[in-house]
Structure 1
């Protein structure tokens, strides 16, 4: 499986920012924020931050917000976004590879990753890097497509939930990429996270079971 590069995403900034504002992805982001609890006084990392909209959800309470993305244009958009919201002082955005994060060990309390790990040829490399940069007892929270995700099931979900226009197009595009990359059952994701030294793994289905939010705690002795 070929590894994607930053330039492939540079031209998609507008699309991804619009997708982050769709009703269905906004609901998923809200659920992800609720699942991770309070960000008060915490240092938060978003791997594959896109245009930074997920980090905005806990920006007021967090101590520091850091986003990395392969795309320099996504990073520019995030910087601009946080400047607009007067949050430049507590945020940092960098061009970086999920498999080689430019941070010291045990730097963050929480690491988010939405719609990223399943794109990697070997997702375990990205998850392992997240483990490295998390503090002891730090949390990982990911969004990944489930084994139920496909063009057909996404189209059916859109129909049942009156999702149309651009919102439907974005969902179908995501489903199309998912079927060509990685999809996970909850059991498969649990096994992968436990193998990579995470514990207390929990999952929450979103989008009618087409995707899952997985959360786990870094093992003390990892």
Structure 2
């Protein structure tokens, strides 16, 4: 997992300042949230949860960082737990919508996280994921860690918020997000690639590449 517990307060402030536009663009994909029961996986300090509440949703959130969860509990009303996204502490078919924004890439096993998100979502419900793009990770590994192989698993160093924060996160391939078991339990209804992530540094000047991607699944 990423080492977010080390800089929870700083990350909260910088997230609200620099990721606001990107998040607003992604919110339009979620649709009407009124009276929806929602779970945010890797909720951090609650930036997305606040938006969901303002839209009339009932919310739950989990994060591996106790400091982040403490912040959420002070500021929002809902069910917020310190938990690992690999084993979500909720029953099957609990939520209308399950989301994860800038978090799932921190897991060692992306496939298992997505399957867990599908498990706790009601039949016909939506699973929304906004994640760091593997191509960005490939370039970061090449520049920062001398890693040359897209398919080789291992930790990659990255910098965000004008290099104010250093992260170490596992590398992933696109295939992990579209595993056949995932697609047997849900339908992929949206996939977008974007390069306008303001929090991340430009790895190679003059090269345009996807920095994050958006996926939306509908549970069978």
> Per the shorter chain, which TM-score range?
0.7 to 0.9
Contact 1:193 1:201 in 2 (8 A): no
Report the secondary structure of 1:49's partner residue: coil
Instruction: Specify every segment of 5 or more residues in structure 2 that has no aligned partner in the other structure, as ranges.
Output: 144-159, 197-209
How far apart are residue 76 of structure 1 and its match?
Answer: 0.5
In structure 1, what is the equivalent of residue 188 of structure 2?
200
8 Å contact from structure 1 (residues 190, 201) kept in 2 = no
Q: Give the distance between the partners of 1:62 and 1:130, measured in 2 at CA.
A: 21
Residue of structure 2 in register with 1:97 after alignment = 84
CA contact (8 A) 1:106 1:133 kept: yes
Cα distance in 2 for partners of 1:152, 1:70 equals 24
- So what's the TM-score if we normalise by structure 2? 0.75
- 1:44–1:71: structure 2 CA closer, same or farther, 3 Å change rule? same
Deviation of residue 115 (structure 1)? 2.2
Please give the alpha-carbon distance, in whole angstroms, between the structure 1 residues aligned to 2:194 and 2:166: 17
Q: Following superposition of structure 1 onto structure 2, how do residues 134-149 of structure 1 map, counting pairs within 5 Å?
A: 134-149=121-136
Q: Unpaired segments of 5 or more residues in structure 1?
A: 83-87, 155-165
Do the aligned residues in 2 keep the contact of 1:118 with 1:183 (CA within 8 Å)? no
More strand by share: 2
Q: Provide the alpha-carbon RMSD of the alignment.
A: 2.6
Equivalent pair of 2:101/2:129 in contact (CA under 8 Å): yes
Out of 60, 75, 81, the residue aligned to residue 81 of structure 1 is 75
Distance 1:183 1:20, change over 3 A: farther
In 2, Cα distance between the equivalents of 1:52 and 1:120? Answer: 19
